[in-house]
């Protein structure tokens, strides 16, 4: 049932996207656009609908996931609960939905909008928080000002044992760092100015300013280096605006994905109508390989245009 969420959003977006695109381009006099007779072709109409349909799909999917998570958060309470219980199902379903969101809603993750998104889901998020593809139980999560949650981190995730599921509040302190694939389990906290390293677990007890590595975690010696706060914890407004403008471009790959999907389906439809279903099935592999080549090629082009050659160095976040 939960896996049907993106398909439901796609159906709604496809309907509204095609309807609005048809209304716009079939009624140029009403919107001041020139008439293009060639756009009557169904494929061109579909391509014209791609940007609008993508945006509608994305927004509808966000609302569906947001509503689902909010509903699943009702009645959750700290403690040990049977795995086969209402609360056990709720916490499991919440993580599955949010894990799906990390893939389908990736443009809003690891961005300026991520803290806002996490707040909407129900988590308590402080100011100037930097969050990437974090997986959490929103109603049990608190993140302090200036904290950093790296890729694939897990916060307040449930624990299983003896047929029970354990959930409890988890906290990331001010300017604390939870490294890539780091975990802060139910009932644990990362103290302020502390660090939990890559693929490491948060200890049951820790002092502020300490660092931890491994699972089970071991105290790690660390010397903090001073840096310009305006390039790390407290960026000025102009840097935030510049970053936001760049992050808007993250929707382009999503639109390209939709455009490739539309092209593949249109090509299959053309092959089936002109050569028959058998030939379309035989050529299906070639069509998919071409679509994959276009997708891979677009990623290569984007890498060299936007990033260029990667060189060794340290750069402020």
Residue 95, pLDDT above cutoff 90: yes
- Classify 169 in phi/psi space as left (phi over 0), alpha (psi -120 to 50) or beta: beta
Q: How far is CA 19 from CA 16, 25, 36, 136, in A?
A: 5, 10, 17, 37
Q: What is the CATH number of the domain that holds 219?
A: 2.160.10.10
Q: Would the pTM count as exceeding 0.75?
A: yes
Check whether residue 228 and residue 120 sit in a common domain: yes
Checking if the pLDDT of 40 tops 50, the result is no
Instruction: Give the mean model confidence (pLDDT) for residues 182-198.
Output: 97
* pLDDT of the residue at 42: 63
Judge whether residue 37 has pLDDT over 80: no
Select the highest-mean-pLDDT range: 102-116, 264-278, 301-315. 102-116
pLDDT score recorded for residue 31: 46
Q: Are residues 244 and 227 in the same domain?
A: no
Tell whether 165 and 252 lie within a shared domain: no
In the prediction, which pLDDT does 137 show? 98
Shared-domain flag, residues 231 and 113? yes
CA distance 157 to 184: 7
The rounded mean pLDDT for the chain is 89
pLDDT band for 50, please (50, 70, 90 cuts): confident
Q: What was the pLDDT predicted at 115?
A: 98
pLDDT confidence of 24, banded at 50, 70, 90?
A: low
Q: What is the pLDDT of residue 266?
A: 86
| Whether residue 118 is found in the same domain as residue 164 | yes
Q: Give me the domain span that covers residue 193.
A: 107-235
Task: Please write the tens of the pLDDT for every residue from 155-188.
Answer: 999 999 999 999 999 999 999 999 999 999 999 9
Place of tokens 């305006």: 230
Identify the band that residue 30 occupies on the pLDDT scale cut at 50, 70 and 90: very low
pLDDT of residue 41: 58
pLDDT in tens, 205-236: 999 999 999 999 999 887 666 777 777 788 88
pLDDT tens for 132-146 read 999 999 999 999 999
**With 80 as the cut, is the pLDDT of residue 317 above it?**
no
The per-residue pLDDT for range 252-306, each reduced to its tens digit, is 998 999 889 888 988 998 899 989 999 999 999 999 999 999 999 999 999 999 8
Q: At which of 180, 206, 235 does a domain end?
A: 235
Residues 125 and 222 in one domain: yes
Domain count, the chain: 2
């Amino acid at each position: 049932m939960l896996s049907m969420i993106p398909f439901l959003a796609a159906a709604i977006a496809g309907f509204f996207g095609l309807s609005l695109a048809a209304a716009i381009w079939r009624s140029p006099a009403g919107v001041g656009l020139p008439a293009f007779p060639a756009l009557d072709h169904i494929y061109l109409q579909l391509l014209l609908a791609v940007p609008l349909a993508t945006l509608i799909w994305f927004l509808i999917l966000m609302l569906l996931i947001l509503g689902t998570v909010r509903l699943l958060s009702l009645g959750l309470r700290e403690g040990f609960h049977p795995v086969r219980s209402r609360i056990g199902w709720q916490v499991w379903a919440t993580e599955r939905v949010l894990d799906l969101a990390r893939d389908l809603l990736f443009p809003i993750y690891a961005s300026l909008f991520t803290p806002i998104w996490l707040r909407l889901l129900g988590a308590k998020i402080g100011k100037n928080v930097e969050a990437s593809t974090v997986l959490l139980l929103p109603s049990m999560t608190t993140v302090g000002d200036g904290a950093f949650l790296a890729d694939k981190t897990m916060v307040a995730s449930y624990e299983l044992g003896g047929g029970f599921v354990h959930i409890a509040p988890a906290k990331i302190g001010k300017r604390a760092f939870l490294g890539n694939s780091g975990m802060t389990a139910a009932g644990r906290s990362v103290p302020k100015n502390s660090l939990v390293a890559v693929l490491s677990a948060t200890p049951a007890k820790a002092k502020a300013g300490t660092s931890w590595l491994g699972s089970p975690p071991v105290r790690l010696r660390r010397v903090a280096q001073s840096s310009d706060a305006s390039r790390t914890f407290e960026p000025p407004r102009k840097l935030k605006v510049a970053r936001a403008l760049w992050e808007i471009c993250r929707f382009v790959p999503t639109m390209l994905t939709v455009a490739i999907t539309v092209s593949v389906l249109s090509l299959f439809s053309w092959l089936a109508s002109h050569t028959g279903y058998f030939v379309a099935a035989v050529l299906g592999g070639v069509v998919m390989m071409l679509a994959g080549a276009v997708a891979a090629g677009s990623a290569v082009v984007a890498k060299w245009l936007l990033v260029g050659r990667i060189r060794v160095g340290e750069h402020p976040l």
